């Protein structure tokens, strides 16, 4: 087959949260930028939240696990070596198509965990290097919330007021006040008032199915329209096979295949990886050559290692009264950071955040919800009645520490539709995480009981929660210990960048997306400042 060649200036791989932010920023600086995305555009109006059978779709063809969903653009991720299973989306918008849009920021201490607490690795940058980029990102994504949290650095007034606490959230807030535990209304990329073509959240619930009103942001409706209007190019159905390099080891472009199977080589001055914490190391490891025998840029053997995922135990409280837990956005209303910072009197390092999530719809409740036991047979209806609308769940996001054996590798015994080797996840829970989970489950249980729950059910571990993918091409000053430098440029291959969550040196105990988008925006500015584009 004839391979088709073309040439671009900056080439970005992946049109998700990071790729969209980076592409928009460079385009706004007048730089020619092209993004290749293996999936296609989504139509928000065809979102499954608009359908009556959304709940059954959620556990089948719209599962967040690509191994269950098996869309054409999904690639296999072998996960029998990982106790947490992958949750991603492949298409324009990336995993923000399915995300819950809870958007707390990292705290300043998260960037200095080694110096402060003797564990993990420090970032080569600080919170303050990202502060202005968090603001830009909050504005473009549209952020509901309330500025002024004394537990976090200051920020601009939020785009719209916070999402409602709801009946259960209000009870939990009251209990938090009585316990004197820190809480604050969550920041989230869900609008509570109309803004442009996006409507205010109607509280329908299953944000992770996509949002028919556009209240919940995803980057296909925020960054991408702006980036394209500025002249950026986005090619969909373009699956990148490998990054190419020359005899000097420099990146020269990428080899990719379109949906007809036609092979392409796009030559580029700068190659930027934004395929997420699994997709990025997969392609870079797959780009081994004579000059880069362990994968491009991987002389340190750090590529793929230090996979961090956030273990997330959940505790569900059952109330006697109807607390309308079928209503409201699905993942957050308030943020509890009482146990966030390191405390040497505890038996684990670092800490965790808790967030209050709503209950599930009727189908998932009938199947047991987050952690309930609903029997089939004669008692089913009675037990269902006791739970439906009467629960609140507290999810505990535990900071994960980096470990070299928690990693992403490639496995050529299984390939995607174009013969590109699969990714394999290797992940075990560290002792530190196990102790943190025990503490977090107790705190969440105490909180729910204080809020009036009659009983609680804990699931110490949510195997489906592999959606925060961090650390597999980490940032650092020492080329022996990290893959990219503070500007997201490969230590070995300066015209190769990684700008997604792969570069995180620590995982913090909050959702990662605003931070990875801030990192991507900053990397774009630094390319321009250093006159590399």
Ligand X SMILES: Cc1cc2nc3c(=O)[nH]c(=O)nc-3n(C[C@H](O)[C@H](O)[C@H](O)COP(=O)(O)OP(=O)(O)OC[C@H]3O[C@@H](n4cnc5c(N)ncnc54)[C@H](O)[C@@H]3O)c2cc1C
Q: Which of 312, 310, 342, 333 is nearest to 513 (CA)?
A: 310
Cα dihedral 184/185/189/190 (nearest 10): 170
Q: Which of residues 24-63 bind ligand X (CB under 6 A)?
A: 36-39
The CB-of-431 to ligand X minimum distance in angstroms stands at 26
The CB-of-186 to ligand X minimum distance in angstroms stands at 10
> Which whole-number Å values give the CA distances from 159 to 147, 154, 284, in the listed order?
10, 15, 38
Site for ligand X contains 512 (CB under 6 A): yes
The CB-of-423 to ligand X minimum distance in angstroms stands at 9
Q: Which CB, 390 or 468, lies closer to ligand X? A: 468
Dihedral pair phi/psi, residue 13, rounded to 5°: -105, 110
Site for ligand X contains 501 (CB under 6 A): yes
What is the DSSP annotation of 107-152? PGGGGGHHHHHSSS---SS-HHHHHHHHHHHHHHH--BS-S--TTS
Q: Which of residues 56-95 bind ligand X (CB under 6 A)?
A: 64, 73, 87-88, 90-91, 94-95
The CB-of-464 to ligand X minimum distance in angstroms stands at 9
The CB-of-262 to ligand X minimum distance in angstroms stands at 15
Q: Looking at 7-15, 160-168, 173-181, 482-490, which segment touches ligand X (CB under 6 A)?
A: 7-15
Number of CB atoms found within 10 A of residue 381's CB: 10
Q: Looking at 96-104, 196-204, 311-319, 390-398, which segment touches ligand X (CB under 6 A)?
A: 96-104
Q: What is the DSSP pairing of strand 421-426 with strand 77-78?
A: parallel
Site for ligand X contains 123 (CB under 6 A): no
Site for ligand X contains 16 (CB under 6 A): yes
Q: Which of residues 318-357 bind ligand X (CB under 6 A)?
A: 331
> Which whole-number Å values give the CA distances from 119 to 37, 44, 426, in the listed order?
36, 42, 21
Site for ligand X contains 274 (CB under 6 A): yes
The CB-of-187 to ligand X minimum distance in angstroms stands at 10
Site for ligand X contains 295 (CB under 6 A): no
Q: What is the number of alpha carbons within 13 Å of residue 247 lying toward its C-beta?
A: 0
Q: Which CB, 264 or 489, lies closer to ligand X? A: 264
Site size toward ligand X, by CB under 6 A: 44
Q: What is the spatial distance between Cα 371 and Cα 382, in angstroms, rounded to a whole number?
A: 17
Q: What is the DSSP pairing of strand 314-318 with strand 391-398?
A: antiparallel
- Choosing from 62, 69, 102, 474, the residue that interacts with ligand X (CB under 6 A) is 102
360 and 369 Cβ atoms separated by less than 8 Å: yes
Site for ligand X contains 18 (CB under 6 A): yes
Residue 198, SS3 per DSSP: strand
- Strand partners for 332: none
Site for ligand X contains 130 (CB under 6 A): no
Site for ligand X contains 162 (CB under 6 A): no
Q: Which of residues 449-478 bind ligand X (CB under 6 A)?
A: 467-468
Which residues of the chain form contacts with ligand X (CB under 6 A)?
13-19, 36-39, 64, 73, 87-88, 90-91, 94-96, 98-103, 208, 238-240, 274-276, 279, 283, 331, 467-468, 500-501, 511-513, 516
């Amino acid at each position: 087959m004839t391979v088709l060649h073309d040439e671009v200036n900056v080439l970005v791989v992946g049109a998700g949260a990071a790729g969209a932010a980076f592409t928009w920023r460079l385009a706004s600086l007048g730089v020619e930028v092209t993004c290749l995305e293996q999936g296609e555009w989504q139509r928000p109006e065809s979102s499954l939240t608009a359908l009556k059978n959304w709940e059954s779709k959620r556990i089948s063809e719209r599962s967040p696990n690509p191994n269950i969903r098996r869309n054409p653009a999904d690639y296999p991720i072998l996960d029998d070596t990982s106790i947490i299973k992958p949750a991603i989306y492949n298409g324009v918008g990336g995993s923000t198509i399915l995300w819950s849009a809870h958007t707390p920021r990292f705290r300043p201490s998260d960037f200095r965990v080694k110096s402060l607490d003797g564990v993990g690795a420090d970032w080569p940058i600080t919170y303050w290097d990202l502060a202005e980029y968090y603001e830009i990102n909050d504005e473009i994504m549209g952020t509901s919330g309330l500025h002024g949290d004394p537990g976090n650095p200051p920020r601009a007034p939020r785009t719209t007021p916070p999402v409602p606490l709801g009946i259960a959230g209000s009870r939990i807030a009251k209990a938090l006040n009585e316990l004197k535990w820190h809480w604050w209304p969550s920041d989230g990329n869900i609008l509570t008032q109309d803004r442009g073509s996006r409507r205010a959240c109607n509280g329908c619930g299953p944000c992770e199915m996509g949002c028919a009103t556009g209240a919940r942001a995803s980057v296909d409706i925020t960054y991408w329209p702006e980036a394209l209007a500025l002249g950026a190019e986005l090619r969909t159905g373009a699956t990148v096979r490998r990054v190419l390099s020359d005899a000097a080891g420099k990146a020269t472009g990428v080899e990719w295949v379109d949906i007809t199977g036609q092979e392409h080589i796009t030559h580029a001055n700068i190659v930027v990886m934004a395929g997420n914490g699994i997709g990025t190391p997969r392609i870079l490891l797959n780009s081994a050559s004579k000059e880069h025998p362990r994968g491009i840029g991987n002389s340190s053997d750090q590529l793929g290692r230090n996979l961090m995922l956030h273990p997330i135990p959940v505790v569900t409280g059952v109330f006697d009264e109807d607390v309308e837990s079928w209503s409201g956005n699905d993942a957050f209303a308030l943020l509890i950071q009482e146990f966030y910072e390191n405390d040497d009197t505890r038996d684990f390092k670092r800490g965790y955040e808790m967030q209050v999530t709503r209950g599930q719809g009727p189908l998932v409740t009938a199947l047991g919800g987050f952690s309930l036991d609903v029997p089939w047979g004669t008692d089913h209806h009675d037990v269902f009645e006791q739970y439906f609308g009467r629960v609140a769940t507290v999810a505990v996001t535990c900071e994960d520490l980096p470990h070299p054996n928690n990693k992403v590798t490639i496995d050529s015994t299984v390939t995607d539709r174009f013969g590109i080797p699969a990714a394999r996840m290797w992940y075990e829970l560290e002792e530190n995480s196990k102790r943190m989970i025990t503490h977090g489950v107790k705190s969440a249980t105490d909180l729910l009981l204080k809020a009036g729950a009659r009983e609680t059910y804990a699931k110490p571990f949510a195997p489906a929660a592999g959606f925060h993918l961090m650390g597999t091409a980490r940032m650092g000053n020492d080329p022996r210990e990290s893959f990219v430098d503070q500007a997201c440029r490969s230590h070995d291959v300066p015209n190769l960048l990684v700008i997604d969550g792969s570069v995180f040196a620590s995982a913090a105990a909050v959702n990662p997306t605003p931070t990875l988008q801030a990192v991507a925006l900053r990397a774009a500015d630094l390319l321009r400042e250093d006159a590399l584009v």
